Amino acid sequence: MAAQMILFNLAFGLTLAALASWTASYLAARPLLGRAGKTALGLAWLALTAGLTLLWVRLGRPPLSNQYESLLTLLWFIYPFAFYFSRRTGRPEILPAGALAAALLFGLAALMDRTARPLMPALRSDWLVIHVLSSMAAYAAFALAAAGAAWALLRGLSEDLEDFLLRLTKTGFAFLTLGIATGSVWAESAWGSWWSWDPKETWSLLTWLGYAAALHLRRKGIRGTKFGIILLVCFGLVLFTYFGVNFLLSGLHSYA
């Protein structure tokens, strides 16, 4: 087994260990177990970072060219977002939500084709890193917001938790805007057109419009449970844009 796969499996195992620690901490009311979960989650991110670095070195290019590689990059953003927003909002339950989202994404990654292929001509561009990183950062923020919204619908949505959801949504929206803008510039140089109404482009725009509507409704006073449900619906658009389009529709982005 390649060294990076050992590190990816280690990251997955540490993520599961973190979830187990938080579950045991909750059931047994032992805060020390919760701190162990936080440590395990931090180590999981370090293992994932090391694995991606080794994969980059082995491939001789950024690991961003297919669904499997981009999913690992999406995963890489989940951890720092969870730690940052947990600290900023003072909500420790954000970390288990991030760990749960990461564990589920690791499970999906295990089902993906890991075959490394040479970059297609359209992908040999300096825009690859900026476009894919910004898009994956957006999806990671939206995934964490969806996990937080689901938790809030089950346990109740407090004011500070709603503030966390709003901040994450704004973060994801900013990164998604950057991803669409850089993708358009890249498309013009690669395909000769800023916008082709390719399925991936179309659904990315629908996702952008969905979260723009969510933020607009929030400004108009939609809060609490309604806002949480809206975020879950919007995340459905993210899932179809990222997974559904690739497997169900064909277009210029079929390699992704």
Q: Which amino acid is at 119?
A: L
Q: Based on the fold, state whether residues 91 and 32 are members of the same structural domain.
A: no
Provide the mean pLDDT of the chain: 85
Q: What pLDDT score was predicted for residue 139?
A: 95
Count of C-beta atoms within a 10 Å radius of residue 253: 19
Question: Residue 179: exposed, middle, or buried by beta-carbon count in 10 A (0-12, 13-18, 19+)?
Answer: buried
Q: What is the pTM of this model?
A: 0.86
Q: For 198-241, what is each residue's pLDDT tens digit?
A: 888 889 999 999 999 999 999 988 888 888 899 999 999 999 99
**Residue 30 sits in the same domain as residue 84:** no
Interior/surface letters 193-224, b for 16+ CB within 10 angstroms, e for the rest: eeebebbbbbbbeebbebbeebbeebeeeeee
Domain for residue 254, yes or no? no
Output the CA torsion 54→49→178→206 (10° steps).
100
Give tens-digit pLDDT for 38-96: 999 999 999 999 999 999 898 888 888 788 988 999 999 999 999 998 888 777 778 88
Task: Tell whether 3 and 50 lie within a shared domain.
Answer: yes
Q: Are residues 238 and 115 in the same domain?
A: yes
Distance CA 45, CA 144 (A): 15
Tell me how many degrees the CA angle 131-133-134 measures, rounded to the nearest 5.
65
Question: Angle formed by the axes of helices 3-28 and 94-109, to 10°?
Answer: 140
Domain that holds residue 2: 1-60
